[in-house]
Every structure is written in structure tokens, then in C-alpha cells.
Amino acid sequence: MNRASPLGEFELIERYCRRPAPGALLGIGDDAALLQPAPGQVLTVSSDMLVAGRHFFADVAPDKLGHKALAVNLSDLAAMGAAPRWALLAFALPEAEPAWLEGLMAGFFALAGRHGVDLVGGDTTRGPLNLCVTVLGEAPAGEALRRDAARAGDELWVSGTLGGAALALRHALGEVALDPVTAARVRARLELPEPRIALGLALRGLAHAAIDISDGLAADLGHILTASGLGATLEWSCLPLEPALQGLDAALALRCGLAGGDDYELCFTAPAAQGSAIRALGERLGLPLTRIGRIEAELGLRLIDAKGRAMALPARGFDHFASAP
Ligand code: ADP
Ligand code: MG
């Protein structure tokens, strides 16, 4: 425990973090929470840290930051086909500023409430701004969507659109000019990602492997291919690019669409026989689901144009240690 601020660490937790947690046996307030998964379900657990200056601009609106810190974690549960239930929130704050904390937790709890997630614990300390969320969910044993479950011949699918968040980042950095309407749309993709929970749940039994796109389609699909010991061909003309990318320089579209992070869409593989069920699912969810290629026995990732000609893949997605800081 560290001394956090004049507000007081425990007062801060009581005031901003503690809410009723009906889904827990015991929530915030003791040394640890007590949680009981439903019978027949396995726990699905994941953590993601957001560091100021690296994952977000330190002056981002706090409610958007609260949303995003939970959203990127729920996205991991979506990619496993798990139902979210609980979260822990550990943060380091340079100071305990009431209006900022209120905004942060309003964004966090608004998203948590929509997905039935109880905040059941965490940690609070003074330090350079960063937030680490841990989420816990449930999936029936054996039904989780794993990266190593793709099969040769599966079709490759992706939800939503690609490249919007990467385009927003380039716009924020002054590298691309966008009209105000487009700028606002892609900025929302960057700041308010929507975890594809309903999709992940509905893909149990339909899809083989799934992953959420946090580091760019090429890199994240690469994880499925490595884990499954397979390769894939992507069809460039099929990719559901953020519309604003289509009017831009082709190399930029390629980089944002294939190597741009932060979209938090799901990429999944499924047997061809499930194609119509997947299309119907997209209609039911009001979320475009697009077939973008195929899983193959030949190792490696290939990109082809509409005429089947090979295209060069952009440089790999973001890697915190391999990429320039
Ligand atoms: P301990 O010292 O035993 O680790 P703390 O004093 O750090 O416990 O925390 C007291 C209680 O408040 C615990 O239940 C902890 O999980 C919870 N908690 C602390 N910080 C947060 C936070 N940022 N969000 C939610 N719960 C928190
Ligand atoms: Mg303790």
C-alpha cells in the first residue's frame, strides 16, 4: 500500500471504485475477492496494461480512457468466446484528481454495466499514469476459441472494418489530413473500441480459431498460423477497409489495414460449410462479417490482389520490444 494523495487511498477506492458486485461472493474491501464460476464453466482470465504516452495520450478524456482500459481486456475474452463476469483494476496515478477519477470510472462502469461485469478488486498507487485491468470470464470447458484450432481449408473472416484506429493515430500525429466527419469517426475507433463480445459468444461451435486484432491483422493472424502450424492467403480486395483509407495512398492503406493496431475486431477461421450461418450471424448482430481469405497447409502468410497476383505484405505489426520506441 502506498500513500496516494490528500484524498486518501481508501477513500478513493470507496468513492470511485467500489460498487455493488452482485456476481461475486465477495467483492472489493477484503484482501482478495471470492468468485464462483457457474457449474461446467472454466475461468478465462486475461490482463492488459495501458501506459500513458505509449498506449494513449496522457490528456485523453478520462471517460474514454476508462472505457478503453476495460474494452481492450473484454476484447480478449471475446476472442476466446468467453462471457465476461469480473474485472480487477490496478492503477498508478500521479495525483488523485476527483474530476478525472470520476470520468475514468464513469467510462469504465458504463462499459462494465453493458456486459454484466463486476469490478471486484485492484490496486491503487501513486506513480506515472498507467492502468492495468484483469478480466475474468467463463466458457464451457472445451468450447473456448483457441489460436491453435485453425484447420487447413478453413475460411478466414474478420468483423467490422480495419485500419480506422491506425488512421486516427496518424491523423492525431499530423501525418494525414482528414475531413472533420471522417476524423471524428476514426477517432472513435481509436478511443472507444467496442469489444465484440456477442460475436465471440455466437462463434462458439461455428468458428475454429479466433483472435482479436490489437496489433494489426497480419501480425495477429500470424499468431493463429503459428499456433496452428498452418499458413494462409489473404485477398486484399476482400478486406473491409475503413472507407476513408480507400481514397488515400495505397501504401498507407496497406499499412493501416494490415499492420495498424487498436481496431479490436475479431479475426476467425471457420469451415466453409458455416459460411451462410456466419453471414446470418452478422445480420443478426448488425456487424459486418467479411470473408477475407483461406487457411492453408503451406506455411506463411500470403497476400493476393483481385487477379490472384502476389502482393508484398507491409512490415509487421507493432511489437513493444522489436519496434522503435
Ligand atoms: P491489500 O493491501 O490487502 O493488497 P489494498 O489496500 O491494496 O489491499 O486494497 C483494498 C481493497 O480495495 C482490496 O479489496 C482491493 O482489491 C481493492 N482495490 C484497491 N485498489 C482498487 C482499484 N483501483 N479498483 C478496484 N478495487 C481496488
Ligand atoms: Mg491484503
pLDDT tens digits for the chain (325 residues)?
444 447 889 999 999 999 999 999 999 999 999 999 999 999 999 999 999 999 998 899 999 999 999 999 999 999 999 999 999 999 999 999 999 999 999 999 999 999 999 999 999 999 999 999 999 999 998 999 999 999 999 999 999 999 999 999 999 999 999 999 999 999 999 999 999 999 999 999 999 999 999 999 999 999 999 999 999 999 999 999 999 998 899 999 999 999 998 999 999 999 999 999 999 999 999 999 999 999 999 999 999 999 999 999 987 656 666 655 4
CA–CA separation, 24 vs 118, rounded Å?
Answer: 7
What is the distance in A from the centroid of ligand 1 to the CA of 221? Answer: 37
pTM of the prediction? 0.94
CB burial of 153-179 (b: ≥16 within 10 Å; e: otherwise) equals ebbbbbbbbbbbbbbbbbbeeeebebe
CA–CA separation, 238 vs 227, rounded Å?
Answer: 24
Helices (H), 192-249: 197-203, 217-228, 243-246
What is the distance in A from the centroid of ligand 1 to the CA of 121? Answer: 5
Task: Looking at the CA of residue 31, tell me the nearest atom of ligand 1.
Answer: 3
Cα atoms in the 13 Å half-sphere on the side-chain side of 141: 6
**Residue whose CB lies within 8 A of the most ligand 1 atoms, among 28, 105, 118, 125, for a mutation test:** 28
User: Phi and psi (nearest 5°) for 243?
Assistant: -55, -35
Cross-strand bridge partners of residue 136? 45, 86
- Nearest-ligand number for the alpha carbon of 21: 1
- Nearest-ligand number for the alpha carbon of 29: 1
Say which amino acid occupies 11.
Answer: E
E strands present in 143-224 = 155-159, 210-212
Q: What is the pLDDT of residue 314?
A: 87
Element (H, E) at 114: helix 98-114
Q: What is the pLDDT of residue 128?
A: 95
What is the distance in A from the centroid of ligand 2 to the CA of 1? Answer: 9
Neighbouring residues of the ion ligand 2, judged by CB less than 5 Å: 31
**Residue whose CB lies within 8 A of the most ligand 1 atoms, among 13, 34, 91, 108, for a mutation test:** 13
Helices (H), the chain: 9-12, 62-80, 98-114, 164-172, 180-191, 197-203, 217-228, 243-246, 250-259, 275-285
What is the distance in A from the centroid of ligand 2 to the CA of 32? Answer: 7
Instruction: Single out the residue of 166, 120, 161 nearest to residue 318, CA to CA.
Output: 166
Task: Looking at the CA of residue 28, tell me the nearest atom of ligand 1.
Answer: 14
What is the distance in A from the centroid of ligand 2 to the CA of 134? Answer: 18
Q: Which three cell numbers stand for residue 320?
A: 513493444
Residue 188, classified by CB atoms within 10 Å of its CB into exposed (0-12), middle (13-18) or buried (19+), is: middle
CB atoms within 10 A of CB 61: 15
What is the distance in A from the centroid of ligand 2 to the CA of 101? Answer: 23
CA–CA separation, 145 vs 191, rounded Å?
Answer: 26
Q: Which residues line ligand 1 (CB under 6 A)?
A: 1, 13, 17, 28-31, 89, 91, 119, 121-124
Q: What is the pLDDT of residue 325?
A: 47
Q: What is the pLDDT of residue 150?
A: 98
Instruction: Single out the residue of 231, 227, 214, 192 nearest to residue 318, CA to CA.
Output: 214
- The answer to whether 206 touches 278, Cβ cutoff 8 Å, is yes
Cα atoms in the 13 Å half-sphere on the side-chain side of 21: 21
Task: Looking at the CA of residue 121, tell me the nearest atom of ligand 1.
Answer: 16
What is the distance in A from the centroid of ligand 1 to the CA of 105? Answer: 15
Cross-strand bridge partners of residue 267? 158, 211
Q: What is the pLDDT of residue 315?
A: 76
Cα atoms in the 13 Å half-sphere on the side-chain side of 118: 18
Q: Whose CA is nearest to atom 13 of ligand 1?
A: 29
Q: Which three cell numbers stand for residue 268?
A: 476467425
Q: Whose CA is nearest to atom 8 of ligand 1?
A: 31
CA–CA separation, 79 vs 318, rounded Å?
Answer: 19
Q: Which three cell numbers stand for residue 35?
A: 468468485
Which residue matches cell numbers 496489433?
215
